[in-house]
Amino acid sequence: MKRGTLQHYRRRRILRIVLAVVSALFLLLSLAARAEESCVAGEACAESRPLDREFVTSLVGPPRGQPLEGAALAQKTHEIALRLRCPTCQGSSVADSPSATALNMKREVEDLLSAGYAPDQIFDYFEAAYGQFVLLEPKAEGLNLLVWIGPGILLLLGAAILVVYLRHRPEEEEAEPSPAAFSASRTQLPDDEELARWVRKVREIAYGWPGGEPPREAS
């Protein structure tokens, strides 16, 4: 088998392996996204209920921040609500959803901030109540790492494909010999006299050259 053909099959095999790795990565990313949707909230979540601060403290500890009020309270409440997913809406944040569940969660955020709970404590509280599904920005741990580093992996994989292709790409000189080299190979004879005699016979049959000698070019 010719060298160019071997390189062609080698490149195809490498590309198949790379495509298999990319497909597996996309599958893992999909599984990671679906794993976060395992918690499904019912209609009972929409019921407004007073916040049990003792229960919150048992989950996340005592307040570690400064109690907020006025415009600062409203601003921070909105910022945190933007990073929380409404359990009864499709992909909407608590800040953007008009549902009763979202309004109740927003009131809880406001109550926790006014009591002095820090933002990370508030996120931990809602995660304990609803699961990581409630976080619009999942933590960079476990399968969630694929969500954060997946684009970088794909970029590096694309660069690797390019490098592999360039390294295994045959040179133009190897793929197609020059006309001068082809012409020289037709006129040259081996050093062995017996072998040269047979080469002349083959030339005479193949090219019709008398005595197997190439015709002289007109000057």
Which 3 state secondary structure label does DSSP give 61? Answer: coil
> Which residues lie across from 6 on neighbouring strands?
none
Higher pLDDT, 87 or 173: 87
Task: Dig out the tokens for 145 from the structure.
Answer: 């790492």
Residues 84-117 pLDDT 10s: 999 887 778 999 998 999 999 999 999 999 999 9
Compute the distance between CA of residue 37 and CA of residue 215 in angstroms, rounded to an integer.
82
If one compares 96 and 6, the residue with the highest pLDDT of the two is 96
In this predicted structure, what is the pLDDT of residue 37? 44
- The structure's pTM equals 0.45
What are the tens digits of pLDDT across the range 125-164?
Answer: 999 988 888 988 765 455 555 555 666 677 777 777 777 7
Contact 65, 116 (CB under 8 A): yes
Question: What does the alpha-carbon distance between residue 55 and residue 92 come to, in Å, rounded to a whole number?
Answer: 27
Alpha helix segments (H runs only) across the chain = 3-35, 53-60, 70-82, 100-114, 119-130, 144-168, 172-175, 179-187, 193-207
